[in-house]
């Protein structure tokens, strides 16, 4: 019996990549504007793999593949730890087990090749990203013909799973996106965004919500929350038991919150200046007027923190001091390290976006969703392809994923200004380099006690980048800054209510020069970071007073119940 050539078991595209002459052909699409995420900024000859390194990789690869092949012929099952292949059907079928093991070997080989490329750092980062996208997409778990788990379910259900999978796929094609949850299970204002309150102000950019008090007395200084404008606000008010909004109200704060309008074509002309003047400035002023307080407390989450900090820098530079304290949750002020998002941003990509929508138009919410999903494609794309389409399983009801699919648009000029001046050029952290409303921006002008929160596993805002805000805020009195690091990611780390008694956080105020040094000298505390924040806010919220009997005042009367109309509008 002739022993088959192990290289023959490789998929054709991977077999080609095992040939050194094919590697440059593989890189070429990434070297110009044909890559979906912009050019890599390198010539055809500037990305190379040393011949001796490639030869070593090939030798190791052929040896490992040959062993896999021999093990399969000897009916020795491959050891597979990857969660995509843990179902019994993969191990019960020798060829399926071999395919999974060979795929994982091919994946490691391609990743090693990407790591071995000699190229400029940004180009290498993009090579890694594009290789990872391809590797994730080619998993045998993603195709019916190579997924024994899905095949077995077709047999067990007498074809019903296949019919259901096709039905769900056709439905998603009409939606233009993959369903991650049962979207019929939720309704904004009914079983998400449930905290009672009223809309007390609105303009073309936002509605201002004022929440009903839940305590016999309240702090005299209210709290204004500015969520990100690239998502709906109700991530902060999903369910009563995990609502940061409700928690703040329960702590005796009169809470106001910005509900951003989901822009349509009529708002496609709005700029970053408009968001600062017509939203941030206006919201602060209305809260001051309704509460009768010269100073309020303010919280900005993610992009909301960037907008809020920009506005406050301008106000403090004008001699105003509108806030008694500032809270920033997973927010960038220093954009020198933007993590994996950096693969989407370079001069060519930003210029192309400016040419298309920089003078008017919309940055579509679905484009945001696709980009963020690609950062974790196995979890946010292919996992649902396998479950929804191949196995015909209906996605379960999950409030966070319902929120995640509720896309929002942004005005093109506003988005392009933000993209160039932050992610591309990192201008915000340099005093005076960026001008807004004709005024130089200096974040260091903000002089207020500041609570900075970051999540340790955040892939949107790396925690070390959030920590960099410690050097920018209160430079004359850094002791006013308090940094807290939570466990988990961008969302799960923030939405971690004390009632769940989950995870942990790190805290410490020892003066150090780097994020790593801070972590080494900090204290780990079990549970939610929310009480730590509540204690901070309590210090700056003023004396206890009787709660307002009604929302708003004579000038700003209630318009409609919370959560209002704006949050219910769907992206075009």
User: What domains appear along the chain, each with residue ranges and CATH number?
Assistant: 6-156 (no CATH), 197-364+407-568 (3.40.50.1820)
Interacting residues of 420 by C-beta distance below 8 A, sequence separation 6+: 350, 354
Q: Looking at residue 47, what is its pLDDT? A: 66
Percentage of the chain lying above the pLDDT 90 cut: 75
Residue 565 has pLDDT above 80, yes or no: yes
Q: Averaged over 60-67, what is the pLDDT?
A: 86
Q: Which of 47, 114, 302, 333 is catalytic?
A: 302
Interacting residues of 8 by C-beta distance below 8 A, sequence separation 6+: none
Residue 556 has pLDDT above 60, yes or no: yes
Cα 90 to chain centroid distance, Å, stands at: 33
Q: Looking at residue 66, what is its pLDDT? A: 86
Contact criterion met (CB below 8 Å) for 407 and 315: no
State how beta strands 255-260 and 223-226 pair.
parallel
Q: Looking at residue 28, what is its pLDDT? A: 54
Whole-structure pTM value: 0.90
Give which of 414, 406, 423 is closest to 368, Cα–Cα: 406
Q: Looking at residue 376, what is its pLDDT? A: 86
**301-320 tens-digit pLDDT:** 999 999 999 999 999 999 99
Give which of 188, 304, 299 is closest to 245, Cα–Cα: 299
Distance CA 342, CA 510 (A): 31
Sheet (strand 223-226) strand order: 523-526, 504-507, 481-486, 450-455, 323-329, 296-301, 223-226, 255-260, 206-211, 197-202, 560-561
Structure token digits, residue 518? 């801070």
CA angle 119, 122, 128 (to 5 degrees): 75
Residue 11 has pLDDT above 70, yes or no: no
Q: Say if residue 563 is preceded by a cis peptide, omega within 30 of 0.
A: yes
Structure token digits, residue 25? 């052909």
Q: How confident is the model at residue 374 (pLDDT cuts 50, 70, 90)?
A: confident
Q: Please tell me whether residue 348 adopts helix, strand or coil conformation.
A: helix
Q: How confident is the model at residue 519 (pLDDT cuts 50, 70, 90)?
A: very high
Contact criterion met (CB below 8 Å) for 480 and 493: no
Whether 302 sits among the annotated catalytic residues: the reply is: yes
**387-420 tens-digit pLDDT:** 999 999 999 999 999 999 999 999 999 999 999 9
Concatenated DSSP letters of 288-347? HHHHT-S-EEEEEETHHHHHHHHHHHHHHHTT---EEEEEEES--S--S--GGGGGG-SH
**125-166 tens-digit pLDDT:** 889 999 999 999 999 999 999 999 999 999 999 999 999 999
Q: Please tell me whether residue 48 adopts helix, strand or coil conformation.
A: strand
Contact criterion met (CB below 8 Å) for 171 and 163: no
Structure token digits, residue 107? 């994946």
**438-450 tens-digit pLDDT:** 999 999 999 999 9
Q: Looking at residue 276, what is its pLDDT? A: 98
* Kind plus residue range of the DSSP H or E element containing 557: none
Residue 9 has pLDDT above 50, yes or no: no
Average pLDDT over the chain, rounded to an integer: 90
* Kind plus residue range of the DSSP H or E element containing 103: helix 94-116
Q: How confident is the model at residue 6 (pLDDT cuts 50, 70, 90)?
A: very low
CA angle 424, 429, 432 (to 5 degrees): 105
Q: Please tell me whether residue 480 adopts helix, strand or coil conformation.
A: helix
**440-486 tens-digit pLDDT:** 999 999 999 999 999 999 999 999 999 999 999 999 999 999 999 99
CA angle 12, 15, 17 (to 5 degrees): 115
Q: Looking at residue 167, what is its pLDDT? A: 96
Range picked from 81-95, 281-295, 332-346, 395-409 for highest mean pLDDT:
281-295
Residue 31 has pLDDT above 60, yes or no: no
Cα 356 to chain centroid distance, Å, stands at: 24
State how beta strands 323-329 and 481-486 pair.
unpaired
Contact criterion met (CB below 8 Å) for 169 and 388: yes
Q: Looking at residue 68, what is its pLDDT? A: 85
Per DSSP (E only), the strands in 193-305 are: 197-202, 206-211, 218-219, 223-226, 255-260, 296-301
Residue 40 has pLDDT above 90, yes or no: no
Q: Averaged over 32-49, what is the pLDDT?
A: 48
**190-202 tens-digit pLDDT:** 999 999 999 999 9
Other C-beta atoms closer than 10 Å to the C-beta of 281 total 18
Give which of 183, 441, 405, 222 is closest to 310, Cα–Cα: 441
């Amino acid at each position: 019996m002739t022993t088959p050539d192990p290289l023959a078991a490789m998929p054709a595209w991977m077999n080609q990549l095992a040939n050194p002459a094919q590697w440059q052909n593989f890189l070429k699409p990434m070297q110009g504007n044909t890559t979906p995420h912009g050019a890599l900024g390198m010539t055809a000859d500037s990305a190379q793999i040393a011949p001796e390194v490639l030869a070593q990789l090939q030798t190791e690869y052929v040896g490992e593949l040959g062993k896999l092949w021999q093990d399969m012929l000897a009916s020795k099952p491959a050891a597979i730890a990857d969660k995509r292949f843990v179902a019994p059907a993969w191990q019960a079928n020798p060829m399926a087990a071999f395919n999974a093991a060979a795929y994982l070997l091919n994946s490691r080989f391609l990743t090693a090749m990407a790591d071995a490329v000699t190229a400029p750092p940004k180009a290498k980062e993009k090579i890694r990203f594009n290789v990872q996208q391809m590797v994730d997409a080619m998993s045998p778990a993603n195709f019916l013909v190579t997924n024994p788990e899905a095949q077995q379910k077709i047999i067990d259900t007498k074809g019903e799973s296949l019919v259901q999978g096709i039905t769900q796929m056709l439905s998603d094609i009409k939606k233009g996106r993959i369903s991650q949850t049962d979207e019929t299970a939720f309704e904004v204002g009914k079983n998400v965004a449930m905290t009672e309150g009223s809309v007390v102000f609105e303009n073309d950019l936002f509605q201002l919500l004022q929440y009903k008090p839940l305590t016999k007395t309240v702090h005299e200084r209210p709290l204004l929350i500015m969520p990100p404008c690239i998502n709906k606000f109700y991530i902060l008010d999903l369910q009563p038991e995990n609502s940061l909004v409700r928690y703040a109200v329960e702590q005796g704060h009169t809470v106001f919150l910005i509900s951003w309008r989901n822009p349509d074509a009529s708002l496609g002309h709005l700029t970053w200046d408009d968001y600062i003047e017509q939203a941030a400035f206006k919201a602060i002023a209305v809260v001051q007027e309704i509460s009768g307080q010269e100073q309020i407390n303010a919280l900005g989450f993610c992009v909301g923190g960037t907008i809020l900090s920009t506005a406050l820098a301008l106000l403090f530079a004008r001699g105003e001091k509108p806030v008694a304290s500032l809270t920033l949750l997973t927010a960038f002020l220093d954009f020198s390290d933007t993590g994996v998002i950096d693969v989407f941003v370079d001069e060519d990509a930003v210029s192309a976006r400016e040419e298309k929508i920089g003078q008017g138009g919309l940055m579509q919410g679905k484009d945001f969703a696709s980009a963020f999903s690609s950062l974790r494609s196995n979890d946010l794309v292919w996992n649902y392809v396998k479950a929804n389409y191949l196995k015909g399983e209906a996605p379960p009801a999950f409030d966070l994923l319902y929120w995640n699919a509720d896309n929002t648009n942004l005005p093109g000029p506003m988005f392009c200004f933000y993209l160039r001046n932050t992610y591309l050029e990192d201008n915000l952290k340099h005093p005076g380099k960026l001008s807004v409303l004709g005024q130089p921006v200096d974040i260091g002008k903000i002089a207020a006690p500041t609570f900075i929160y970051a999540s340790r596993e955040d892939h949107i805002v790396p925690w070390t980048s959030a920590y960099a805000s410690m050097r920018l805020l209160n430079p004359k009195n850094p002791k006013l800054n308090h940094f807290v690091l939570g466990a988990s990611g961008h969302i799960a780390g923030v939405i971690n209510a004390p009632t769940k008694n989950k995870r942990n956080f790190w805290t410490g105020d020892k003066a150090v020069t780097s994020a790593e040094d801070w972590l080494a000298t900090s204290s780990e505390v079990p549970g939610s970071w929310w009480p730590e924040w509540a204690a901070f806010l309590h210090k700056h919220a003023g004396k206890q007073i009787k709660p307002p009997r009604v929302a708003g005042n004579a000038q700003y009367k209630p318009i409609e119940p919370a959560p209002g109309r704006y949050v219910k509008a769907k992206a075009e």
